[in-house]
Chain A
Amino acid sequence: MKRAFQKPGRSREYGKALAREIDYLGLDSVAIVGIISLFVGAVVTIQTALNLDDPFIPAYYIAIATRESIVLEFSPTMVSLILAGKVGSNIASTLGTMRVSEQIDALEVMGVNSASYLVMPKVLASMLFNPVLIMLSMGLGLLGGYIAGNLTGVISTPDYLLGIQLGFKPFYITYALTKTVVFAFLITSISAYCGYTVKGGAVEVGTSSTRAVVSSSVAVIVANYFLTQILLGT
């Protein structure tokens, strides 16, 4: 694994590989992240509204609660878990197939550091692009809440717009993005490790892809606990 982070050879080729991975691992996930965020934002708003159905609690509290759930937890953690499933299995099966069909050996014989050529662009692409996805998710989550509030009438538009701005702490964004970057690193490096070290054939490639998703999801959940304690801990 250490070899994966060594200095690459021809940087232009690594640049091209990075662009390809951003396209493949990042842009390709925009749709799924968008749809999920929109609907979860809507659901969170409705549920919060039902739970805070008390005349003594101002309506804009619903929007505050929605905002905090999305920014602190849903977008960085849940979306990262979804990406662990999508991106993790993709990375493990791609690298696993390259391993068992000797494509990795072919790279090595040519004198290419296969670990760094194949793994590093994927890790970097996710660490760079997942924050963009998460910001998008936050935006669309809040939009989903806005639409749901409008459609169901659980919260009025002015209350919602007031609530999502009230007492907003910019540090929460920093916190969310820090988590995102750490999760992206965990997901891609664990999955790459699972795929890169496959021995055997098609069956083992499948197994490694499952193992990649399970291990990286667990890693995300555990890391989430510690990061929360470190960054928000009192």
Chain B
Amino acid sequence: MIEVQNIQKSFGAHEVLKGIDAQFEQGKTNLIIGQSGSGKTVFLKCLVGLHEPDNGAILFNDRNTAQLDQKERQLLRQEIGMVFQGSALFDSLTVEENVMFPLNMFTRMGPGEKKDRVDFCLNRVKLEGANKKYPAEISGGMMKRVAIARSIAMNPKYLFCDEPNSGLDPQTAVVIDNLVREITQEYGITTVINTHDMNSVMEIGDHIIFLKNGLKAWEGDRHEIIRSDQPDITEFVFTSELFKSIRKAQRSG
């Protein structure tokens, strides 16, 4: 479980996060939603330690990140997998080498063992036959899959995904969403996902946090969000005609 207490983060005079509390449970897909620019990426980067929050505490299973020494922090990071908004694959390495990279860096596995693990991870994201290709030679959806495969290579306890399905067609988006959820449940990972895609929210929203103006404006699950009457939520959720008609049907039925 990850516990976030009163996280604040500003860039100069621009207050992006104004004090956010949250708890993310193990084995669940926790979603952070909000408009573009609402601070989702900043929040996620605070969680993984790429941004230093100005205030507040982050606890990974009761380990306060601020109180860890360099060695402990290093070890914690090896328990973290992250999928970046732009995949962030190493473009000088092939697909296979990308997934193998953390294994090379942090494990004492033999070559055969590593190869098996890489094949397993690429299989898991249903990506085959692209092992020897470079990131520039594969599609955006495949890049996302490789990024997910790389993020699970070390068997992470915590998984962070920044808009894992942005820029993908609706079908592929659903596949990626479900993949992340399956992996989360299968290995009991604590997963936090940034998204502004309502389809993902309805598909995999076990626990949803809505960010607005640097604050947590709403919290609940996917069944609750669709019934919510809070103006912020209805404004965000029911922008598209599809969801408006769903709501109408729900009201009348």
Contacts and interface: CB of A to CB of B under 8 A. Distances in A.
A169 B78 CA distance: 55
B48 interface: yes
B86 interface: yes
Interface stretch (A98-106, A152-160, A175-183): A98-106
A10 B106 contact: yes
Interface string A116-150: 00000000000000000000000000000000000
B91 A103 contact: yes
Interface string B72-97: 01111110101011101111000000
B77 A109 contact: yes
B20 to A, nearest CB: 20
Interface string B122-163: 000000000000000000000000000000001000000000
B77 to A, nearest CB: 3
A102 B45 CA distance: 11
A13 interface: yes
B81 to A, nearest CB: 8
Contact of A10 (B86, B88, B105): B105
A108 interface: yes
A162 interface: no
B104 interface: yes
Contacts of B102: 110
A91 B104 CA distance: 24
A105 B106 contact: no
A136 to B, nearest CB: 27
A9 interface: yes
Interface string A77-116: 0000000000000000000011001110110111110000
Contacts of B73: 111
A177 to B, nearest CB: 31
Given A101-B91, A103-B91, A105-B50, A110 B105 contact: yes
A105 B88 CA distance: 8
Interface string B95-118: 000000110111000000000000
Contacts of B91: 97, 101, 103
Which 3 A-B pairs give the minimum distances between C-beta atoms?
A: A111-B77, A102-B88, A106-B88
23 contacts: A9-B105, A9-B106, A10-B105, A13-B104, A98-B90, A102-B84, A102-B85, A102-B86, A103-B89, A103-B91, A105-B45, A105-B84, A105-B88, A106-B84, A106-B88, A108-B77, A109-B48, A109-B50, A109-B82, A110-B78, A110-B80, A111-B73, A111-B76
